[in-house]
Amino acid sequence: MNTLAAKPQTKKIMKTILLPLAIAILSLTIGCNSNKTKVENTKESTYAALLDRNEVLAQSAEWAVVKSKAAELMMKINADSMDSKSRLQLAQLYMQEARITGEHPYYYPATLKILDDVIKREPGSFEALAFKSSVLLSLHHFEEAKEVGQRALTINADNGFIYGVLCDANVELGNYEEAVKMSDKMQVIRPGLESYSRASYLREIYGQNEGAIEAMKLAFEAGLPGTEEASWAGNTLTHLYINAGDYKNANQVADMILTQRPSYAFAIDAKGQVAMAEGNYDQAIKLFDQAIAIMPEFSFYENMADAYKAKGDDAKYKEIYKNVITMLAEDAASGHYTDMELALVYTKLNEMDMALEHAQKEYNRRPSNIDVNATMAWVLYNKGDMTNAKKHMEVALRTGKKNKELIKKAEMIKKG
């Protein structure tokens, strides 16, 4: 398993301007293999419009560029119903906005409509299939993402992006050995932020936490400072440090991200998690509130609820978690599978029948995934089913992952 054993070569890192992690590698290929003939203009496009960003995110210098580009692409699409290149670029832009704004229920269905229109006319469009696979991953439709990704792979086996998509899909489905193969292919074709970050995640899965930190450092360094994807890599590094109990380095990386990209809500949330770990609950709540003001990310609300719980305010804790259920239900209504998240929330609210219902749904989709099995184990433990809880936890531990929360729960289940 080269992804796990071999150290990525720093000399190969090239700092380039990247699109978000999920779409970076394909950006230069759009339109290169299209020989479509233009036809007469038809009725205007019915694609969803670009949403305004909130006040904080709208202050970013990139926002004016995004608005201008979206308007330009819409005009081109309205003028030419066969303009696949502009549609693919609009899909990229919407995928990026989903990541930056957190407006997933709006942008992911909108992006799928655009991509499906391209695929309907051009079933062999590598770019459209690869982008669709990436969106399906974001919606947690992992099996379908893998199937669409494999279709794209038969069209172009020399593009690193598709191996990244298939790595992610196989990780989520619990096919870890296959994920390693895909990661190794990606590193050979395109070493950089995207491949190093996947190597880091796989190392973490296999319990190689120090190696995971090493690889994610390389990913962070490979990104252009201040871009969304570099910030994402840095934030993932903060969480690796938090899991290792290295709060000093976690805070330092989060501060570096915020210096480069002040509106990056996930870094503010990470600082809140450090404050939580250090017992500074009031500071944590303040930071979580700042993150929420920028992006309506449900995990920020969860962290805030946990901070109130730690303070002894159970009423506020339950109130926030009930709001999280509403948020997840809205996401689910847009086609996003949220059953594992709902299972964990219902467990925290001690609504164990609902927790088991959602955990079982997710387990039926991907019974080999270690995180899904850990969720099943924890739900069953809380329902008093120790025999089955231990069976699922055994699967959850099969790769040797060394996550503090996982180990804590495993010890509790072992004791019964």
Tell me, what DSSP letter sits at residue 125?
A: -
Joined together, the tokens standing for residue 134 give 């990436």
Q: What is the pLDDT of residue 344?
A: 97
Instruction: Report the interhelical angle of 126-138 vs 84-101 (nearest 10°).
Output: 20
Q: What is the pLDDT of residue 252?
A: 98
Q: What is the pLDDT of residue 45?
A: 55
Q: What is the pLDDT of residue 27?
A: 41
Nearest to 285 by CA among 257, 313, 259: 313
Q: What is the pLDDT of residue 60?
A: 86
Q: What is the pLDDT of residue 14?
A: 27
Nearest to 9 by CA among 209, 221, 205, 230: 221
Contacts of residues 403-407 at CB distance under 8 Å and 24 or more positions apart, as own/partner, are: 403/204, 403/243, 404/243, 404/245, 406/374
Q: Give the SS3 label for residue 157.
A: coil
The DSSP element (H or E) to which 376 belongs, if any, is: helix 370-383
Q: Can you give 286-336 as a three-state secondary structure string?
A: HHHHHHHHHCCCHHHHHHHHHHHHHHCCHHHHHHHHHHHHHHHHHHHHCCC
Q: How many helices (H) and strands (E) does the chain have?
A: 21, 0
Superfamily of domain 26-156: Tetratricopeptide repeat domain (1.25.40.10)
Q: What is the pLDDT of residue 224?
A: 95
User: Per-10-residue mean pLDDT for the chain, 416 residues long?
Assistant: 47 30 41 34 66 92 94 94 95 95 93 97 97 97 98 96 97 98 95 96 98 97 94 98 97 98 96 97 98 94 97 96 95 95 97 98 98 98 97 98 96 94
- Phi/psi of residue 260, nearest 5 degrees: -80, -35
Query: What residues does each domain of the chain span?
Result: 26-156
The DSSP element (H or E) to which 400 belongs, if any, is: none
- Phi/psi of residue 16, nearest 5 degrees: -125, 160
Rounded to whole angstroms, the Cα distance separating 97 from 23 reads 12
Nearest to 26 by CA among 142, 121, 118: 118
Rounded to whole angstroms, the Cα distance separating 101 from 97 reads 6
Half-sphere exposure (Cβ direction) of 91: Cα atoms closer than 13 Å = 31
Rounded to whole angstroms, the Cα distance separating 85 from 91 reads 10
Rounded to whole angstroms, the Cα distance separating 346 from 411 reads 22
> Under 8 Å CB-to-CB from 106, ≥6 apart: which residues?
48, 51, 98, 334
Partners of 16 in beta bridges: 223
Partners of 223 in beta bridges: 16
> Under 8 Å CB-to-CB from 151, ≥6 apart: which residues?
129
Q: What is the pLDDT of residue 197?
A: 97
